[in-house]
Amino acid sequence: MAKDGKGPSDWFTEQLSDLKQDMGQLEDKLRGAGGQGNDSRGASRTSASARISQPPTIAPPPTIAPTPTIAPPQVAPPITQPGTPAHSPAPTPQARREAPVDARAPSPPPPPRTVTRPTPAPRRTPNDGGYRLGVDVGGTFTDLLLIDEDSGHAFTAKVPSTPDDSSRGVLYGIERICAEAGLEPSSIGRVMHGTTVATNTVLTGNGALVGLITTKGYKQVLQIARSYVPGGLGGWVIFNKRDPLAPLELTIEANERMSALGEVVEPLDEAEMADEIAKLKGSGVEALTVSLINAYANGEHEQRIRSIAEQVMPGIPVSISSEVIPEMYEYERAETTVVNSYIRPVVSTYIESLEAELNSRMNGVQLHILRSDGGLASADAAKEAPVNLLMSGPAGGVTGAIWIAKQAGYENLLTFDMGGTSTDVALIEDGVARTRRETRVADVTVRASSIDVRTVGAGGGSIAYVPELTKALRVGPQSAGAEPGPAAYGKGGEEPTVTDANVVLGYLPSGAKLGGDMQLDYAASERAMGKVAKAMGLGLKETAEGIVNIVNENMFGALRLVSVEQGYDPRDFALVGFGGAGPLHANALGKLMNSWPVMIPPGPGVLCAYGDATTRVRDEASRTFVRKFEDTSDNEVRGILEELAETAAGTLDHEGVPRGDQTTLYQIDLRYAGQAMQLTVDMTSDDYGSGGLAEAGKRFNAMHEQMFTFALETGHELYNLRALVQGRESSAKAETLATGGADPSAAAYMDTSVYVEGQDRPAKIYDRALLQAGNRVPGPAIVTEMDSTTLILPGHEGEIDAVGNILIRPVG
């Protein structure tokens, strides 16, 4: 990061005043949303991967070196004129990745249908050793990371976000970072981007109006769902079910039937289907979903219906369940496919617009979108199956954490990403995030692979209260959200939040440099805290510490879910804290979990950009193949796995990833015959070749034992087969800091006091930008930086490593 900034050019000032104007309008919103640890995970930002942690700055962040080396005329027009979504060429017919599926077929199994995959000409292959760019758009800042693939050298930049049209901020950032690196934007070959557009579409409920086509007799599949009523015994008294995302009045039925083995029981009545679809014309339907019973075993009828729909209602995108998720369970498949339809138009528009803007500057650049499972999808694949992007934002943080921790030499991690309203945690083993076949956003659950991120409704904005009846202190899940936000933000919030507790305890010092001109309102936090203190009969600071302890306990529960409950010992893991509020609470969580070191990577936004930029291109192809071991053979399964691998590899070919750089992993979902759950056994092609199904069964037994304390002698059953193909890892290296001695005092800029374990204790505040590698910061201490504040507890010490992480460990 260049720190020798010259004065801003006129052009820069112009841009800035433009941005200031936008920001002025958004300031109120963002201040609530963007305050310390209080970014709402809602519409107010475009990437959940950045936990906005400080009040927004109006001034350009000092870390940007405003080098006026780019000729203004070249740059100004596209930036000052918000990009209208450019018309991009009609999407090429998307490859059908899914191979045929069949369930428990006795002999003979239905003949496999051919995989129809158009083989388009590979796109421009980026020059070997080109540049790749990671972009993370947060509510306040847009972070960029440029990697020179030859040297591994990286450049970073941080610019204000432009929430009304985020591509403006992105393009501005690209100009800055290119200027800094001294290269032309056109030399960037790939842009990697994590986005929360898909998530926010679900959260804000502004997706497309979706029409649904089901098998006759199954119209109410989403209305009935799984018949589940949450809330325990008597939970029905207060349970109000949300309406399906595809309204029942826009759901029609097809006269057709497949058997569980994929045989046609009743052929599709095509003429009647066309009439039925015609009735949806004029209803305002913007997207169609086809989800037929047993379509996981044979998707022919779904494909036929899509053709009919494309004729009857041209221009309306059609998602079919046998392509989006060819897996058993009709409700989950229908819901997943409907969610895909629901978010598809919004996501397509966003990606197309960004693509067009990028192409206007960097002709032929490849845009990749980070998927929920931490892999990268091409822009086309992302538009086709946006249901895979629901956790794109959090995945950026996790993959970034993996990457930066690897630079520091840690590969077993618990990630702890605490935002304003919720906290995401995940477990990383040997540098690989656990994934699961389920993605949840609010009360929407879909069957799509995502990094196994568990979310708890606990964040900086979580409100503390004392119910009349029990007199227990509760924290959350209600949140002060973006508006009005914690009391400390002085935006009219009066409820005591976790952030207010941090203020009262001195963890968020009101006199400290908090990035920008906003002052925390200590008195307001105290007033808010007073309410709870009174009800509890405790002092203000005691109460505040109680609130912090309880919210920590909630997050501890989530961390246990991903670790202890899965059979992992948290003592074998380092805890990586990020997000707006993560660095404040991470040390305490480390104590609870006994996970050391607690690692605080530099800058949460940069972290996500790192994740975006360093992730590998990935595709997978899967097939449900329900068979007991004795009813199939090593060879039959190998044949399917190879076919799936070839399908996935084709996608990477299309992305310009040479075969030599591709690696393949087989994933075999197994269970004991009779069980409902499956565990995924990972095997390389060599592993499978030498050990076959027997080896897979052995590995399954070991996993079952680890997770559930017992293994059975019951036979094994295959469920899903998957092949995962990835491009090679990025050679990027993290920036290194200047090395200094153990003494950090040069970075200390203020004395303060923090309240820990019932006592006020003197502490120092450090400026993170001034810390050097090798510095050891003794707790209690507070380390501030642009968009984050770290708390080091008494009895602990934070060591600065070569790449700028703070590694906190107990002393002695």
For other proteins, the binding residues in 98-127 under the rule CB under 8 A are: 103-104
Q: Measure CA 221 to chain center.
A: 29
Residue 123 or 226 having the CB closest to other proteins: 226
Q: Beta strands 796-800 and 618-628: pairing type? A: unpaired
Nearer to other proteins (CB atom), residue 712 or residue 746: 712
Instruction: Report the amino acid identity of residue 249.
Output: E
Which window, 30-38, 142-150, 544-552, 636-644, contacts other proteins (CB under 8 A)? 544-552
Q: Does 536 bind other proteins (CB under 8 A)?
A: yes
Alpha carbon distance 278, 683 (integer Å): 48
Determine the residue type at 540.
Answer: L
Number of residues this chain uses to bind other proteins (CB under 8 A): 72
Query: Looking at 350-467, which runs of residues are DSSP E strands?
Result: 366-370, 376-378, 413-418, 423-429, 432-433, 435-436, 439-441, 444-446, 450-451, 454-456, 462-465
Which of 240, 315, 686, 762 binds other proteins (CB under 8 A)? It is 240
Rule CB under 8 A: is residue 234 a binding residue for other proteins?
yes
Minimal distance in Å, beta carbon 256 to other proteins? Answer: 12
DSSP 307-359: HHHHHHSTT--EEEHHHH---S-HHHHHHHHHHHHHHHHHHHHHHHHHHHHHH
CB nearer other proteins, residue 262 or residue 744:
262
> Taking contact as CB under 8 A, which single stretch among the options 155-163, 168-176, 227-235, 682-690 is the one that binds other proteins?
227-235
Among 357, 424, 526, 545, binds other proteins (CB under 8 A): 545
28 φ, ψ (degrees, to nearest 5)? -55, -50
- Residue (591 or 796) nearer to other proteins, CB: 591
* Interface characters, 547-586, with other proteins (x: CB under 8 A): --xx--xx--x--xx---x---------------------
Helices (H) and strands (E) in the chain, counts: 18, 36
- Residues between 467 and 506 with contacts to other proteins, criterion CB under 8 A: 467-474
Q: Which residue in 336, 341, 366 sits closest to 351, CA to CA?
A: 366
CB atoms under 10 Å from CB of 22, counted, come to 18
**For other proteins, which stretch binds (CB under 8 A), given 91-99, 233-241, 363-371, 773-781?**
233-241
Which position among 90, 121, 676, 738 is part of the footprint of other proteins (CB under 8 A)? 676
Name which of 755, 761, 782 is nearest 543 in CA terms: 755
Query: Interface with other proteins includes 677 (CB under 8 A)?
Result: yes
Binding positions for other proteins, 612-651, rule CB under 8 A: 626
Report the C-alpha gap between 356 and 350 in whole angstroms.
10
Reading the block at residue 743, the tokens are 């003494």
Q: How far is the CB of 308 from other proteins (least distance, A)?
A: 23
Q: How far is the CB of 128 from other proteins (least distance, A)?
A: 46
Nearer residue to other proteins within complex by CB, 101 or 734: 101
Q: How many CB atoms neighbour CB 762 within 10 A?
A: 9
Q: Which of 107, 651, 693 is nearest to 380 (CA)?
A: 651
Question: Looking at 216-343, which runs of residues are DSSP E strands?
Answer: 251-254, 257-258, 264-266, 287-291, 318-320
Of residues 260 and 802, the one with the C-beta less far from other proteins: 260
Write out the binding residues for other proteins, residues 282-321 only, by CB under 8 A. 293-294, 296
Q: Are 357 and 169 in contact (CB under 8 A)?
A: no
Q: By CB under 8 A, name the one of 71, 90, 121, 238 that touches other proteins.
A: 238
Q: Which is nearer to other proteins, 248 or 271 (CB)?
A: 248
* Burial class (CB within 10 angstroms; exposed 0-12, middle 13-18, buried 19+) of 231: exposed
Q: Mark the segment that binds other proteins (CB under 8 A) among 130-138, 176-184, 415-423, 671-679.
A: 671-679
Contact 595, 801 (CB under 8 A): no
Residue 472 CB, nearest distance to other proteins (Å)?
Answer: 6
- In the range 694-723, which residues lie near other proteins by CB under 8 A? 704, 707-710, 712, 714
Q: Which of 4, 249, 430, 686 binds other proteins (CB under 8 A)?
A: 249
Per-residue binder mask for other proteins (CB under 8 A), 193-222, x = binder:
------------------------xxxxx-
Residue type, 348: S
Give me the least distance between CB of 811 and other proteins, in Å please. Answer: 21
